[in-house]
């Protein structure tokens, strides 16, 4: 026989009142957070969908930030390239004027002074720092100055501008698994002619004695034991770098020829000596720097070389140089610079398209997330009021139903 005590009604009433209080608390938490799902057990299927939508939405916001950064960066690059274009146009005009026989040598001296100042300005442009504190034309070496002057850089007349071999341009992810090139390295933007490196070492008998590797313009090329120079040439031509290779018919030395105006970067990887043994770079090569062998023939001039050539020709009143190499060098530099401006504009157009697409996807993903985990505030407020009314009625009924205790009589 089950014994029924006076404590049982109290316990039952307390249990159900606590359940109602919990329901009220949960509803208040939902309203406070504006979320229907406080824990996965509230709706396991909706919670799993909500997690995926939240992850997707977070990635979209990251892509939006990336594309916005890329847009701002491209705007800065375009501004500096346009300034460089203006400088080259002015020097070209001076070259044409200097080649004219109507000017006296003293006039050309004045022109040379102007070109020297424009040369300094070109160095300033090439070493420009963006709004994020990074060098714009340093590629992936964003905190290294891309171009340096000999000594302390305070010479009245600049005689040489060294390129520090900034690496490949950075990339930014603009959508899932898709990347956009962010930078135009200084070795690409501030170059005039196609570069050619001819080794003066007969390479026909070369054979690799071990597995090694080297890189051409950032493209790593593996060399297997027993590979000949002909195998290496084929691998260079198949690597996808803007450089072709062949043997020089006169010296039988390896030749590297740029397919576009830029500074070729040739580097042996660690513990590798392939390019050194072929006479392309020196044995004390510094990774990322212009490290051509002293015996190699290197052609292809930078924008700064062309400007220095025009300035010096004006100083010595060399009209023949100004009318041929001077104007021709400026034309090469301008053509390359305008190609780089077009390349930068194409990249900008792409990220603007991606930015617009991402901003159209974000509201769709947000709506899907709201549909799964969002809270209808009107319905929630109505439910909360009903729960509170029910709880209040339960308290009143409980006060009437529960038997009086000794404390009630003691009052």
The span from the CA of 269 to the CA of 165, in Å, is: 15
The span from the CA of 49 to the CA of 379, in Å, is: 22
Interval 113-135 mean pLDDT: 93
Interval 316-335 mean pLDDT: 93
- Residue 14: C-alpha distances to residues 20, 369, 380, 393 (Å): 10, 38, 25, 14
pLDDT value of residue 35: 65
pLDDT value of residue 337: 95
Rounded percentage of the chain residues whose pLDDT exceeds 70: 74
Query: In which residue are the tokens 């930068």 written?
Result: 344
Tokens of 126: 């090439």
Of the given ranges (71-80, 279-288, 363-372), which has the lowest mean pLDDT? 279-288
Q: In the structure, what pLDDT confidence band is assigned to residue 196 with cuts at 50, 70 and 90? A: very high
Q: In the structure, what pLDDT confidence band is assigned to residue 142 with cuts at 50, 70 and 90? A: confident
Q: Is the pLDDT of residue 376 over 70?
A: no
Fold: same for 53-190+301-361 and 196-299: no
Whole-model pTM: value is 0.77
| DSSP calls for 323-336 | IIIIHHHHHHHHHH
Q: Is the pLDDT of residue 153 over 60?
A: no
Q: For residue 89, which of 283, 333, 262 has the smallest C-alpha distance? A: 333
**Contact criterion met (CB below 8 Å) for 275 and 296:** no
What is 53-190+301-361's CATH number, 3.30.365.10, 3.40.50.80, 3.30.930.10, 1.20.1330.10? 1.20.1330.10
pLDDT value of residue 193: 87
**Contact criterion met (CB below 8 Å) for 271 and 287:** no
Q: What's the mean pLDDT when you consider all of the chain? A: 83
pLDDT value of residue 287: 46
Which carries the bigger pLDDT value, residue 295 or residue 385? 295
Q: Is the pLDDT of residue 248 over 80?
A: yes
Of the given ranges (4-8, 91-95, 265-269, 341-345), which has the lowest mean pLDDT? 4-8
Of the given ranges (109-113, 124-128, 149-153), which has the lowest mean pLDDT? 149-153
Task: Tell me what percent of the chain is helix, strand and coil, each rounded to the nearest 5.
Answer: 55, 15, 35
Q: In the structure, what pLDDT confidence band is assigned to residue 297 with cuts at 50, 70 and 90? A: very high
The span from the CA of 13 to the CA of 399, in Å, is: 10
Q: In the structure, what pLDDT confidence band is assigned to residue 29 with cuts at 50, 70 and 90? A: low
- Count Cβ neighbours within 10 Å for each residue of 85-111 and write b for 16 or more, e otherwise: bebbeebbebbeebbeeebeeeebeeb
Cα 150-152-153 angle, rounded to 5 deg: 65
Q: Per-domain residue ranges for the chain?
A: 53-190+301-361, 196-299
CATH class of the structural domain 196-299? alpha beta
Q: Is the pLDDT of residue 114 over 90?
A: yes
Interval 48-59 mean pLDDT: 79
**Contact criterion met (CB below 8 Å) for 243 and 264:** yes
Q: Is the pLDDT of residue 284 over 60?
A: no
pLDDT value of residue 407: 55
**Contact criterion met (CB below 8 Å) for 193 and 243:** no
**Contact criterion met (CB below 8 Å) for 397 and 12:** no
pLDDT value of residue 141: 81
Q: CB-based contacts of 187: which residues, under 8 Å, 6+ apart?
A: 146, 163, 165, 166, 262, 263, 265
**Contact criterion met (CB below 8 Å) for 169 and 139:** yes
Interval 39-54 mean pLDDT: 65
- Count Cβ neighbours within 10 Å for each residue of 22-45 and write b for 16 or more, e otherwise: eebeebeebeeeebbbeeeeeeee
């Amino acid at each position: 026989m089950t014994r029924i005590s006076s404590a049982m009604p109290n316990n039952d009433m307390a249990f159900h009142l606590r359940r109602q209080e919990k329901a009220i608390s949960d509803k208040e938490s939902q309203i406070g957070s504006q979320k229907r799902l406080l824990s996965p057990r509230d709706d396991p299927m909706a919670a799993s969908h909500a997690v995926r939508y939240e992850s997707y939405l977070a990635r979209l916001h990251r892509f939006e930030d990336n594309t916005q950064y890329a847009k701002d960066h491209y705007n800065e690059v375009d501004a500096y390239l346009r300034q460089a274009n203006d400088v080259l146009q002015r020097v070209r005009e001076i070259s044409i004027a200097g080649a004219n026989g109507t000017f006296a040598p003293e006039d050309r001296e004045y022109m040379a002074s102007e070109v020297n100042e424009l040369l300094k300005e070109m160095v300033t442009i090439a070493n420009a720092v963006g709004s994020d504190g990074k060098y714009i034309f340093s590629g992936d070496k964003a905190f290294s100055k891309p171009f340096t002057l000999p000594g302390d850089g305070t010479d009245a007349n600049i005689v040489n501008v060294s390129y520090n071999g900034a690496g490949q341009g950075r990339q930014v992810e603009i959508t899932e698994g898709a990347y956009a090139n962010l930078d135009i390295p200084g070795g690409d933007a501030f170059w005039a002619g196609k570069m050619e490196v001819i080794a003066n070492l007969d390479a026909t008998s070369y054979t690799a004695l071990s597995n090694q590797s080297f890189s051409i313009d950032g493209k790593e090329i593996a060399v297997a034991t027993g590979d000949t120079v002909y195998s290496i040439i084929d691998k260079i031509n198949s690597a996808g770098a803007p450089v072709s290779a062949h043997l020089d018919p006169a010296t039988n030395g390896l030749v590297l020829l740029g397919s576009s105006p830029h500074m070729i970067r040739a580097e042996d990887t660690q513990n590798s000596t392939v390019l050194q043994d072929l006479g392309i770079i020196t044995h004390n090569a510094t990774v990322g720097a212009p490290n051509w062998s002293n015996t190699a023939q290197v052609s292809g001039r930078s924008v700064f070389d062309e400007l220095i050539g025009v300035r010096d020709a004006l100083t010595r009143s060399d009209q023949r140089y100004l009318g041929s190499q001077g104007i021709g060098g400026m034309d090469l530099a301008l053509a390359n610079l305008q190609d780089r401006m077009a390349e930068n504009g194409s990249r900008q157009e792409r990220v603007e398209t991606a930015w617009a697409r991402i901003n159209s996807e974000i509201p769709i993903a947000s709506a899907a997330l709201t549909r799964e985990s969002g809270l209808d505030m009107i319905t929630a407020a109505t439910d909360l009021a009903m729960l509170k009314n029910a709880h209040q009625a339960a308290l009143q009924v409980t006060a009437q139903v529960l038997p009086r205790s000794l404390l009630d009589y003691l009052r």
